[in-house]
A and B are shown apart, each in its own frame.
Chain A
Amino acid sequence: MSARPTTPLLAIRSLRAAYGRIEALKGVDLTINPGEIVALIGANGAGKSTLMMTIFGRPRARAGHILFDGNDITGRPTHEIARLRIAQSPEGRRIFPRMSVAENLQMGADATDCSEAERAGGLDRVFALFPRLKERMAQRGGTLSGGEQQMLAIGRALMSRPRLLMLDEPSLGLAPLIARQIFDAIRTLNRQPDCTRGNRRRAAAASRNPRCLSRGRPAGVVFPDA
């Protein structure tokens, strides 16, 4: 424990969310401090993606609180939450298929009102992580390979200069080599506060602090076996 108490970047308190009658989150607590990399792991259907989407208000929380930087953001509109510089590379990547790579990245930059210099700096940073994207700038998002789309999804999230970056299954469906590139990139990013999940062993290794979800409830701390 550090001597100086800091406001957690993200504090989730007994959060509940549901899709219709199916309750997906049954009282989740999670604290993420600035500068921390957190891996969220759990079985299929444990509620990992739902938790990330509920932070953005989709679905809305039924009960509990989400505090970002000490402010209660529970119930605020999704686009306002995004403008607080919380970014997500969501499940399924959700690239805009009929926009060019450049436009997809610009959508990320548009999420926060940034200056031209900040935008250029953001692009440089994304290209440093994923040089492949630079060659693909004019290509349509929908024509990229799966790995390239994943890079673009992460790059787009980074363009908003996030204070909290959430990556949902960053290695899903990728060739092992590409998955490694992506996890290397996440480690390079650790100047940023990250919340990440994915390949259990790798994610746990990248994080000093993995949290486990089981059927919508926290299930204690899991220690990496790698």
Chain B
Amino acid sequence: MDYFAQQLINGFVLGSIYGLIAIGYTMVYGIVGMINFAHGDIFMIGGFIALISFLVLVSFGLTAVPLILLIVLLVSMAITALYGWTVERIAYRPLRHSFRLAPMLSAIGMSFVLSNYSQIAQGARVKPVPPIITGGYTLHASSGGFVVQLSNVQVVVVITTVVLLAIFTWLVARTRLGRDMRACEQDQTMAALLGVDVDRTISMTFVIGAALAAVAGMMYLLYYGLVDFFMGFVAGIKAFTAAVLGGIGSLPGAMLGGLAIGLIETLWSAYFSVEYKDVAAFSILIVVLIFLPTGLLGRPEVEKV
């Protein structure tokens, strides 16, 4: 039981990270109808920028950990958002009125560009960082000697995710930008007829998606203590799986799918085999696509008009 509880905690934390990335996939799909395969690499860029800004702050002699974390968070969100904006601008927007597969192919190309660029600029080796947040709580110690622990890193990851999701949900549901985004998702022509700058709204969607991916990248860095140029690939595909599982186009679905994939992967590793954890996650993708193509919270294609 204790072992299971520990795995639930671990799975929940991993799922938060997947969920943050999955939102970027699902938002972009909702508004422009393409799968942004470069989004996983945007997450990787976010991790690198978090690492670089962390090292810069430390070299300036800053020691207050909460302050460092806050600055690193904001810097990596801002710079990664700029990457997201640039990618949309140079690789997708010129192809918007081209055939349907064109932006997706461009996205796959962009994914290679970003990961190779990081490899050349930062080197191919895994970049470790010493643990920034240490300590934790013992929740339960059983007589068998197994201890259920909640580390401070896990607390930070979950709290940051929850806070950002709350801000994001408020933005989409209550602000003018959010309304414009939903209008573009539902009917771009009508949105334009009502004075919405569709191009700008799409740009903002990429910016917000990239900023959330940057948060995920920073959380990954804190949690695993390393980044490398290739980490965007597998994490990106997993988050994409999460978005499909939750129902592509659905924002709560992306978060729910992220948590589900995190839990499945963790529990599979804990009870079956660590080697096959990716197989478990991707089998879910296949099963969902076959039996539940609209996902858990997705809506069917047919709309009442």
Binding site for B on A (CB under 8 A): 56, 58, 77-80, 82-83, 87-88, 90, 92, 94, 96-99, 103, 106-108, 110-112, 142-143, 156, 160
Q: Is B130 an interface residue (CB 8 A)?
A: no
Tell me which of B180, B193, B303, B305 contacts A82 (CB under 8 A): B193
- Given the complex, which residues of B lie within 8 Å of A56, measured CB to CB? 192-193
- Given the complex, which residues of B lie within 8 Å of A107, measured CB to CB? 179, 183, 191, 194, 196
Assuming the contacts A103-B179, A142-B304, asked whether A112 and B195 have C-beta atoms less than 8 A apart, the reply is yes
Tell me which of A87, A96, A112, A142 contacts B183 (CB under 8 A): A96
Assuming the contacts A106-B179, A107-B179, A107-B183, asked whether A94 and B189 have C-beta atoms less than 8 A apart, the reply is yes
> Are A94 and B187 in contact (CB-based, < 8 A)?
yes
> Are A143 and B192 in contact (CB-based, < 8 A)?
no
Assuming the contacts A99-B182, A107-B183, A110-B179, asked whether A142 and B190 have C-beta atoms less than 8 A apart, the reply is no
Q: Is B105 an interface residue (CB 8 A)?
A: no
> Are A82 and B186 in contact (CB-based, < 8 A)?
no
- A107–B195 Cα gap in the complex (Å)? 9
- Given the complex, which residues of B lie within 8 Å of A160, measured CB to CB? 194-195
> Are A110 and B189 in contact (CB-based, < 8 A)?
no
> Are B194 and A111 in contact (CB-based, < 8 A)?
yes
Nearest CB of chain B from residue A142's CB, rounded to whole Å: 5
Q: Is B198 an interface residue (CB 8 A)?
A: yes
Closest to A112 in B: B195
- A143–B304 Cα gap in the complex (Å)? 7
Number of interface residues of B (CB under 8 A): 20
Tell me which of A78, A80, A142 contacts B303 (CB under 8 A): A142
Closest to B200 in A: A79
> Are B186 and A156 in contact (CB-based, < 8 A)?
no
Known interface pairs A90-B190, A142-B304; 7 further A-B residue pairs with C-beta atoms within 8 A, sorted by A's residue number: A78-B189, A82-B192, A92-B305, A96-B182, A97-B305, A99-B179, A110-B179
Closest to A110 in B: B176
Assuming the contacts A97-B305, A142-B303, A143-B304, asked whether A58 and B195 have C-beta atoms less than 8 A apart, the reply is no
Closest to B180 in A: A110
Can you identify 17 A-B contacts, CB atoms within 8 angstroms?
A56-B192, A58-B189, A78-B193, A79-B196, A79-B197, A80-B195, A83-B195, A92-B305, A97-B303, A97-B305, A99-B179, A107-B194, A108-B194, A110-B176, A111-B194, A156-B194, A160-B194
Binding site for A on B (CB under 8 A): 176, 179-180, 182-183, 186-187, 189-198, 303-305
- A203–B194 Cα gap in the complex (Å)? 25
- A58–B192 Cα gap in the complex (Å)? 10
- A97–B197 Cα gap in the complex (Å)? 20
Nearest CB of chain A from residue B195's CB, rounded to whole Å: 4
Assuming the contacts A56-B192, A94-B187, A96-B182, asked whether A79 and B198 have C-beta atoms less than 8 A apart, the reply is yes
Nearest CB of chain B from residue A194's CB, rounded to whole Å: 17
- A110–B179 Cα gap in the complex (Å)? 10
Residue among B180, B191, B195, B198 with the highest chain A CB neighbour number at 10 A: B195
Assuming the contacts A103-B179, A110-B176, asked whether A97 and B195 have C-beta atoms less than 8 A apart, the reply is no
- A142–B194 Cα gap in the complex (Å)? 18
> Are A88 and B195 in contact (CB-based, < 8 A)?
no
Closest to B197 in A: A79
Assuming the contacts A58-B189, A94-B187, A96-B187, asked whether A111 and B304 have C-beta atoms less than 8 A apart, the reply is no
- Given the complex, which residues of A lie within 8 Å of B195, measured CB to CB? 79-80, 82-83, 110-112, 160
- A168–B226 Cα gap in the complex (Å)? 59
Nearest CB of chain B from residue A87's CB, rounded to whole Å: 8
Nearest CB of chain A from residue B183's CB, rounded to whole Å: 6
- Given the complex, which residues of A lie within 8 Å of B305, measured CB to CB? 92, 97, 142
- Given the complex, which residues of A lie within 8 Å of B191, measured CB to CB? 107
Tell me which of B183, B193, B196, B198 contacts A99 (CB under 8 A): B183
Nearest CB of chain A from residue B192's CB, rounded to whole Å: 4
- Given the complex, which residues of A lie within 8 Å of B193, measured CB to CB? 56, 78, 82, 87-88, 90, 94
Nearest CB of chain B from residue A46's CB, rounded to whole Å: 21
> Are B198 and A97 in contact (CB-based, < 8 A)?
no
Closest to B304 in A: A142
- A203–B196 Cα gap in the complex (Å)? 30
